[in-house]
Amino acid sequence: MKVFVIGIGLIGGSMAIDIKAAFNDAIIYGVDSNKEHIEQALNLGLIDQAATNVQLKEAEVVILTTPVDIAVRLLPDVLDEINEECLVFDAGSTKKNLCEVVAEHPRRRNYLATHPIAGTEFSGPKAAIANLYRGKTNIICEVEKTAFKLQEKAMEIFNRLGMRIRYMDAASHDKHIAYVSHLSHISSFMLGKTVIEKEKNERDIFDMAGSGFASTVRLAKSSPAMWTPIFEQNKDNVIETLEEYIANLEKFKKNIEEDKFPEIYKEMKETNHIKTILKGIN
C-alpha cells in the first residue's frame, strides 16, 4: 500500500509510524516543503522515501497533515493529481472551509474529511510518537460524499490504529471544537503571556511554577504556525466562545471584588462535574 503523507510533523509522522506498524505492505512516502523535515523523517524511519506532488498518481492513500491554511490551498491540487481509486483524508482542526473548497471538485468522492482528536504541544518530525491515535476519537464530516469503497478503506486504517469514530457535519464540528480545543489553546497562550509580562525574572517563574501552572500553560508551547490559521478559519466560532469565556471571567472578578465567596464556591463546585464528563481521558 503506497501511502503519501503530506506534511511530516507530529500528526503526519505519528500516523506514518502507526500505519507502518499496522500494515506490513505499507510504503510511506513523505512530501514536505521543509527539506530539514524530510531529512529528519528519513533518518527517524518515519518515511521510506521522499516524494513530490507529481508522484501522487501512484498513491493509494494520501494523508494531508499540513496547517489548515495550507491544506485549503493544497487539497484541490491533490485531488487533481490522484488516480480514481485513491483515498485522500486530512487531519485538520477545522472542516468547513476544506469541505467547501472541494464541494464541486470532480473527485470529491475521493476525499474524506476527518479530524483525529489527538496531539501534543510539540511539533515537527522529532515529536512523532507511536500509538498517538489509539483510543482517540476521529470525527468524520460529510461521510456521505465519499465513495463507499473508499470509506471502507479509511475505516480499516482507523480501526487498525485503534481510533473511535464519530460522525458530524462540518459546521457543527467547527462550532464544538472551538469550545473544547480552540478556546483552551487561547487560554493557555494568554496565561503564558500574562505571566511572562508580569514576571520579568524567568528564574522566578521556573522556581515558583507548580504542577497546576505547568499543566494549564502546557498548550502555550504549541506551534503558532499551526494555530494562527486555525483561529483565522474558525474566527466566528472562536469569537463567540471568547465572548462567553470573558463574560465568565468578568463575573468571577466581580464576585471577588464584592466578597461573594459563597457564590464563587458554588460555581466551582458545579464546575467540578467536568471530572465526571472527562473521566478516562488521559
Are residues 15 and 150 located together in one domain of the fold? yes
Instruction: Based on the fold, state whether residues 114 and 86 are members of the same structural domain.
Output: yes
**pLDDT value of residue 10:** 96
Same domain for 164 and 177? no
How many other β-carbons are positioned within 10 Å of the β-carbon of residue 242? 17
What's the whole-number mean pLDDT along residues 14-22? 97
Q: Global pTM?
A: 0.89
Q: In the prediction, which pLDDT does 207 show?
A: 63
Last residue of a domain, one of 168, 184, 219: 168
- Which CATH number belongs to the domain containing residue 20 in this structure? 3.40.50.720
The CATH number of whichever domain residue 198 belongs to comes to 1.10.3660.10
Query: Does residue 282 lie in a domain region?
Result: no
User: Cβ(11)–Cβ(138) under 8 Å?
Assistant: no
Q: What is the mean pLDDT of the chain?
A: 93
Q: Are residues 66 and 132 in the same domain?
A: yes
Q: How far apart are CA 134 and CA 106, in angstroms?
A: 33
User: Which pLDDT tens digit goes with each residue over 127-169?
Assistant: 999 999 999 999 999 999 999 999 999 999 999 999 999 999 9
Domain boundary among the residues 132, 153, 168 is at 168
β-strand partners of 90: 64
Provide the domain count of the chain.
2
Tell me whether residue 131 is in a domain.
yes
Q: Dihedrals φ, ψ of 25, to 5°?
A: -95, 5
Is 1 a residue whose pLDDT tops 80? yes
Q: Listing from the earlier edge strand, what are the strands of the sheet with 137-141?
A: 49-50, 27-31, 2-6, 61-64, 87-90, 111-116, 137-141, 164-168
Structural domain that includes position 238: 173-277
Q: Are residues 144 and 187 in the same domain?
A: no
